[in-house]
Amino acid sequence: MIRFALALLAGISMTAQAQDTPEPPRLEFAFELFAQVADPIIVGEMPNGQRRIIDILSGEFEGPGIKGRLVPGGADWQTIREDGFTEVDTRYLLETDDGHLIYVTNIGIRHAAPEVMARLNAGEEVEQSEIYFRAIPEFETDAPELQWLTRSIFVSTGERYPNGVVIRYYRVL
């Protein structure tokens, strides 16, 4: 509908417009984070699934032009549905090697076949290619040289291991 309206406004015939498939956005690797996490704290069964909290203990991150550590104290608040589908709400603080702080909110989902999710949620090692783990991070910082983090859309991919997580962040171009 919108493409049709834009085509009309631009004076382009819809037939010519329909033949052109828009180029998808590209992704640019921003950085990778390695985090060590505590064992989950099981809050209990809630109406929409099991609530658990996983404290973030430590970690580090690095990418082109950015490097630092994960400040202890963040956590991942998860809701795990009966079929293993997991909603993640992770909040943490990064500190660059030159002392700048970056507050991160990373909201996403994780799912796989029920037997894979059962093993993962039990703390077992699983094949990461069998898991869909994606999130949308948002960054806050007052550092002028890091404003590129606050002025772009990012997506992240995750890998969950028994005592840690690897998150890769990509800027949408």
Q: Is the pLDDT of residue 141 over 80?
A: yes
pTM of the model: 0.85
Residue 3 lies in a domain: no
Token pair 């990012």 is at which residue?
Answer: 154
Kindly calculate the radius of gyration of the chain based on its CA atoms and give it in whole angstroms. Answer: 20
Which pLDDT belongs to residue 8?
63
Q: What is the extent of the structural domain holding 140?
A: 25-172
Residue 13 lies in a domain: no
Residue 14, SS3?
Answer: helix
Mean pLDDT of 115-139: 90
Residue 8 lies in a domain: no
CB 131 within 8 A of CB 109: no
Write phi, then psi, for 48 (nearest 5 degrees).
Answer: -105, 10
> How many CA within 13 A on the CB side of residue 163?
4
Cα–Cα dist 122/41, whole Å = 12
CATH at 105 = 2.40.160.20
Residue 1 lies in a domain: no
Residue 127 lies in a domain: yes
Cα–Cα dist 53/158, whole Å = 17
Which pLDDT belongs to residue 7?
62
Q: Between 115 and 97, whose confidence is greater? A: 97
Provide the token pair at 49: 């699934």
Residue 4 lies in a domain: no
Which pLDDT belongs to residue 169?
98
Write phi, then psi, for 100 (nearest 5 degrees).
Answer: -80, 140
Return the top range by mean pLDDT from 80-84, 148-152, 160-164.
148-152
Domains held by the chain: number: 1
Residue 70 lies in a domain: yes
Residue 9 lies in a domain: no
